[in-house]
Structure 1
Amino acid sequence: MLWSCQSGAEKTVEASTMLPYYNEPTFTPLFLSAPEEIEAGITHKISPFKLLNQDSLLLDQHWIEGKIHVASFIFTTCGSICPTMVQQMQSVSKAFEKDDRVGLLSFSVTPWYDTPAVMQAFKKSYEISDPNWHFLTGKQSEIYQLARQAYFAEEDIGYSRDSTDFLHTEHLILVDADKRIRGIYNGTLALDVQQLIADIHCLRKTL
């Protein structure tokens, strides 16, 4: 499911036409280039949200407007895929740490435990200082609905699940400055994450 706007040593060209759009949880790639085609054909965007970050500051959808961002869904007590995902996300953070046009959002899937203080300690334990990487917590129902129906985090398998079904996914979701989904990657695989970094570079050329 990975597509590249780079080929060997070729320069990036028209990132908006080379990276697909994803309008449904099946993650069927749609390659569109004309603005009118995109406007008419890509109706899905990340929906509004209001959550607290690790500093107990309210973060909402306005933070991602006009900005490329990557979403992940983790929990601080996870002993399986989450530590690897955070470590891989650090590669993304380091690649764009001085670029406020690129942000990272890590949503807690156990918000009843992951308070802002817990998330802050978690961030510090990984020595993450990137101001554009937020660890978010809030109501479970809001986070789960956002993950499944806005980010398609579990693809079509999880789209219709409700908040009583535990959410656990290795996916990283790439969203462009117009809040449209442009990629899905396995956050435990270094190769996938390197592709994610390359795709972010592509999208940056459209800003």
Structure 2
Amino acid sequence: MGFWERKTVEIFLRKSLVISLLTSLAACQSRDQVSTIPYYNSPDFSPHFLDKTEAKGQIMHHIDHFYLKDQHGKTISHDNIKGKIHLAQFIFTRCGNICPEMISQMKTVAKKFSANPDVELLSYSVTPWIDDVPTLRKFAEEKQIDSPNWHLLTGSKSVIYNLARKSYFAEEELGYSKDSSEFLHTEHMILVDRDGRIRGVYNGTLPLEAEQCVKDMEKLLSEN
């Protein structure tokens, strides 16, 4: 092989090596952009680990619009949580089994994020015909719920139940096909990102789950 032929081969090999390195670097960068917090697109809660571009094209499920009242009589709607992350749970004031512990674990979250303007905490009443605004206000006082971004919500039963089952997948696949005639009761807390997409589901009665939720919320906030 002549001198110029050898030089041509060397240049080709160097270019191939550079291209290979650039390709590997791009792949690494792409992997770095994949969120460690999964996206959920269906009530079976199959996790999807995607970057933001992939998520935009593949995750079609979003929390639906709503208009409800909180414990202060203030209207809370989709507009109040738009552009923020929020954590949702479903409780009722006369619940004596899992709800007290769910409130306790939500307090763990509230303690961390009560002063954060990018976070909202929503406790939907599943007995809104009982839990009117005065009842929720009294409940909040008794339970010392005073975080400004923690809203206890009441309103239309059908709106709340449809949100729980169709938007938040609160009862997973078992509840997805149920309607508002069947009572709703779940220990789940559901984490939703700034774009209204589900990013986490946790057992709201367990301290370790609440701690993991806090960590995931911190990650979501840092991603934005």
TM-score by length of 1: 0.91
Q: Using the alignment, how far apart are the partners of 2:107 and 2:148 within structure 1?
A: 13
The correspondence for 1:198, drawn from 215, 219, 222, is 215
Which residue of the partner structure matches residue 98 of structure 1? 115
Equivalent positions of 1:31-50 (< 5 A) are: 31-35=49-53, 37-50=54-67
Q: Using the alignment, how far apart are the partners of 2:186 and 2:174 within structure 1?
A: 11
Q: CA deviation at 1:55?
A: 1.1
Q: Using the alignment, how far apart are the partners of 1:80 and 1:126 within structure 2?
A: 15
Q: Secondary structure at the match of 1:205?
A: helix
Q: Using the alignment, how far apart are the partners of 2:223 and 2:215 within structure 1?
A: 14
Which residue of the partner structure matches residue 167 of structure 2? 150
Give structure 2 stretches of 5+ with no counterpart.
1-30
Q: Using the alignment, how far apart are the partners of 1:29 and 1:38 within structure 2?
A: 12
Q: Using the alignment, how far apart are the partners of 1:133 and 1:165 within structure 2?
A: 27
Q: After superposition, what is the alpha-carbon deviation per residue over 1:38-70, rounded to whole angstroms, capped at 9, x for unaligned?
A: 111000000000001111111110011110100
Give structure 1 stretches of 5+ with no counterpart.
1-12
Which residue of the partner structure matches residue 30 of structure 1? 48
Q: CA deviation at 1:206?
A: 2.0
Rg comparison, structure with higher value: 2
Which residue of the partner structure matches residue 4 of structure 1? none
Residues 47, 146 of structure 1: 8 Å contact kept: yes
Higher relative helix content: 2
Q: Using the alignment, how far apart are the partners of 2:119 and 2:73 within structure 1?
A: 21
Q: What is the percent sequence identity of the aligned residues?
A: 49
Which residue of the partner structure matches residue 107 of structure 1? 124
Q: Judging changes above 3 Å, is the alpha-carbon distance between structure 1 residues 156 and 125 closer, same or farther for their aligned structure 2 residues?
A: same
Amino acid at match of 2:49: F
Residues 34, 52 of structure 2: 8 Å contact kept: no
Q: Judging changes above 3 Å, is the alpha-carbon distance between structure 1 residues 190 and 50 closer, same or farther for their aligned structure 2 residues?
A: same
Amino acid at match of 2:41: N
Amino acid at match of 1:104: L
Q: CA deviation at 1:34?
A: 4.4
Aligned length: 194
Q: Secondary structure at the match of 1:24?
A: coil
The correspondence for 1:180, drawn from 172, 177, 197, is 197
Q: Judging changes above 3 Å, is the alpha-carbon distance between structure 1 residues 21 and 142 closer, same or farther for their aligned structure 2 residues?
A: same
Q: Using the alignment, how far apart are the partners of 1:66 and 1:14 within structure 2?
A: 23
Residues 15, 205 of structure 1: 8 Å contact kept: no
Q: Using the alignment, how far apart are the partners of 2:194 and 2:82 within structure 1?
A: 6
**Segments of 4+ in structure 1 off by > 4 A?**
13-16
Q: Judging changes above 3 Å, is the alpha-carbon distance between structure 1 residues 205 and 51 closer, same or farther for their aligned structure 2 residues?
A: same
Residues 91, 124 of structure 2: 8 Å contact kept: yes
Amino acid at match of 1:170: E
Superposed CA RMSD in Å reads: 1.3
Q: Judging changes above 3 Å, is the alpha-carbon distance between structure 1 residues 100 and 160 closer, same or farther for their aligned structure 2 residues?
A: same
Q: After superposition, what is the alpha-carbon deviation per residue over 1:82-139, rounded to whole angstroms, capped at 9, x for unaligned?
A: 0000011000000111111111000000000000110011111111110100000001
TM-score by length of 2: 0.84
Amino acid at match of 2:107: Q
Q: Judging changes above 3 Å, is the alpha-carbon distance between structure 1 residues 15 and 198 closer, same or farther for their aligned structure 2 residues?
A: farther
